[in-house]
A and B are shown apart, each in its own frame.
Chain A
Amino acid sequence: MLTREELHAALVERHGADIQHKLDNACVGIAGLGGLGSNIAVHLARLGVGKLVLVDFDVVDVTNLNRQHYTMRDLGIPKTVALQEQLEAINPYLYYEAYTERVIPANAVRLFEGCDLVCEAFDRADQKAMLIETLLNACPDMPIVSGSGMAGDGSPNDIMTRRRFANLYVCGDGESDVASGLGLMAPRVALCAAHQATTALRLILGKRNP
């Protein structure tokens, strides 16, 4: 087991001291810990983002294993618990705040208001719209990085990050909808999650353009 200092020195060596200092002091919220959220969280923990706020009401199910960052060992366990275990194995010295509850307009601000930015990683389109409306209304200065359009087997090159509104970044192809019968598959979902995590990184570093 590495000490806090040894692991931090390794991150500084890879990322550079200035960048790591910004990452150390950042707090990112992740709303939904499914295919997008679990992969985003793993990326941000590897970056050494100082604090992650993880929220999901659900338990790991067999239908999640095709794309979400869980294993058979996690079946039946809350996603918050299963994911925090993995993140602690990657970097036990970060601060993880996990809430096993459903995000609704009445609790969204309480859960995420201390964050520098929030990654929206829900499954349902109406839930994505609800979170974005609620947070941008209550916390207009807090950027939101959303995922929309990563189902099916379309070209990976169609997954993009676009800035919409003043503080909303939308990652995905914008069109591929599970409601139209397209399945969700690991690489394309992970690609969208990587766009979201990269955009979160850039925002932490002060880069506002996608």
Chain B
Amino acid sequence: MKVNGREQPRNGLETVLALLESLGHDPQRVAVEKNGQIVPRASFRQEALCEDDAIEIVCFVGGG
């Protein structure tokens, strides 16, 4: 699958939440798009990943 434009093996990662955790991201501080559609936070745990998915992850930091 593609994560932020880069090919990476799925390595048994089943869900968006598992991918975020494997990358060390706090799920409360990211926005995720799968194949061009926003994935709501409440669905991170259920949203399944397949080999041909394109995932975009935007991480936010605090301050404003």
Interface residues of A (CB under 8 A from B): 32, 34-37, 121-126, 128-130, 132-133, 136-137, 140, 146-151, 164-166, 168, 170, 172, 174-179, 182, 184, 189
Contacts and interface: CB of A to CB of B under 8 A. Distances in A.
Contacts of B64: 32, 34-37, 121-123, 128, 147, 150, 184, 189
Nearest to A193: B64
Range, interface on chain B: 10 to 19
B56 interface: yes
B43 to A, nearest CB: 10
Contacts of B36: 165-166
Nearest to A179: B62
Interface in B25-64: 26, 28-31, 33, 36, 38, 40-41, 56, 58-64
A137 B62 contact: no
Contacts of A148: 59-61
A35 B41 CA distance: 27
Contact of A177 (B31, B33, B56, B61): B61
A187 to B, nearest CB: 14
Contacts of B56: 164-165
A129 B30 contact: yes
A165 B31 contact: yes
Contacts of A179: 61-62
